């Protein structure tokens, strides 16, 4: 049974905040930000634009770019940690907009590892017979969780949404293997903290996250390749979670695999980064037919995982 991804739809908000723009808001500058993160700009949603709005926009882009009949979808899963309300889920609101009732729908919240988790869940449902065509969405409005007076975190994040179909006999790529994991003992290292105002802002222990991300993503790539009976030398491209260029470069150097990065254009869009990078890499011709692509991720929790894809 060949299961994988058929097409990817994307949505990024029109508003762009550059590093120079941030230098007018906090004590920072373009050189300081770029040298530490590789980020040049990030897309930021309007105040009245929700995670669900972005999710719907990415699904509509998916429909426009493909020959998929959205009425054939029999399961909807969304990865997000920025739902505008506790419930209903973003998946349920997308289902309402698409007018495809009476199918299962729910959200998951592995944060930056969301894409890998969605693949694992969707593939399992298809193999078990619970689903045939799963609509997966990664939609994040991290600008709502950023303290725009904190130069250590406000420089990192952006907003985006991606949507893709997981099914048998996929048109884009086949999933060779996916592994996921996590360890809640790291929960204090990357979390949201409730302020006196009632708002929740991202708080991160940068050094711990950096070292853990490099080590864990390296381990996940090696493990998923081993489980797939593939050597590192056979892998054509590394497309990791796009959090920080220094993290990605460190992982690529340890593995000896060329890495693709688009973090400079979007910042860290949490669960949306990998499918957004896959989309851009395909559009730019960086990924070609037959390529083996490995994508590891680490997110708050910690959550982690990796997937090996055959294009």
- 3-state helix/strand/coil string of the chain: CCEEEEEEEEECCCCEEEHHHHHCCCCCCHHHHHHHHCCCEEECCCCCCCHHHHHHHHHHHHHHHCCCCHHHCCEEEEECCCCCCCCCCHHHHHHHHHCCCCCCEEEECCHHHHHHHHHHHHHHHHHHCCCCEEEEEEEEEHHHHCCCCCCCCCCCECEEEEEEEEEECCCCEEEEEEEEEECHHHHHHEEEEECCCCCEEEEECHHHHHHHHHHHHHHHHHHHHHHCCCCHHHCCEECCCCCCHHHHHHHHHHHCCCECCCHHHHCECHHHHHHHHHHHHHHCCCCCCCCEEEEEEEECCCEEEEEEEEC
- Report the C-alpha gap between 287 and 180 in whole angstroms: 24
Which one of the listed residues 83, 177, 262, 268 is annotated catalytic? Answer: 268
Question: Could you say which of 7, 19, 83, 112 is catalytic?
Answer: 112
Mode of pairing for the β-strands spanning 41-43 and 16-18? antiparallel
Residue of 78, 83, 241, 262 marked catalytic: 241
Indicate if 268 belongs to the active site: yes
Residue 19 annotated to the active site: no
Judge whether 112 counts as a catalytic residue: yes
Catalytic residue set: 112, 241, 268
């Amino acid at each position: 049974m060949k299961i994988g991804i058929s097409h990817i739809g994307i949505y990024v908000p029109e508003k762009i905040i550059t590093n120079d723009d941030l230098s007018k808001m906090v004590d920072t500058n373009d050189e300081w930000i770029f040298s530490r993160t590789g980020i040049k700009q990030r897309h930021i949603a309007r105040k009245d634009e929700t995670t669900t709005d972005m999710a719907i926009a990415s699904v509509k882009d998916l429909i426009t770019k493909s020959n998929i009949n959205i009425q054939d979808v029999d399961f909807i899963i969304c990865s997000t940690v920025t739902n505008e309300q506790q419930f209903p889920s973003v998946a349920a609101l997308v289902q309402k907009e698409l007018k495809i009732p009476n199918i299962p729908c729910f959200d998951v919240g592995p944060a930056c590892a969301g894409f890998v988790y969605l693949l694992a869940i969707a593939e399992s449902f298809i193999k078990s017979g619970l689903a045939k065509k799963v609509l997966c969405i990664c939609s994040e409005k991290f600008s709502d969780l950023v303290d725009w007076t904190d130069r250590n975190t406000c420089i990192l994040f952006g907003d985006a949404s991606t949507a893709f179909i997981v099914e048998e006999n996929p048109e884009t790529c086949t999933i060779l293997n996916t592994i996921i994991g996590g360890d809640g003992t790291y929960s204090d290292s990357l979390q949201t903290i409730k302020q006196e105002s009632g708002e929740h802002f991202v708080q991160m222990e940068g050094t711990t996250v950096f070292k853990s991300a490099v080590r864990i993503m390296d381990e996940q790539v090696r493990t998923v390749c081993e489980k797939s009976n593939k050597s590192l030398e056979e892998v054509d491209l590394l497309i990791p979670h796009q959090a920080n260029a220094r993290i990605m470069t460190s992982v690529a150097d340890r593995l000896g695999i060329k890495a693709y990065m688009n973090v400079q254009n979007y910042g860290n869009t949490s669960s949306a980064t990998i499918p957004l990078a896959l989309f851009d890499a395909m559009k730019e011709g960086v990924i070609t037919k037959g390529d083996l692509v490995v994508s590891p991720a680490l997110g708050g929790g910690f959550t982690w995982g990796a997937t090996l894809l055959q294009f």
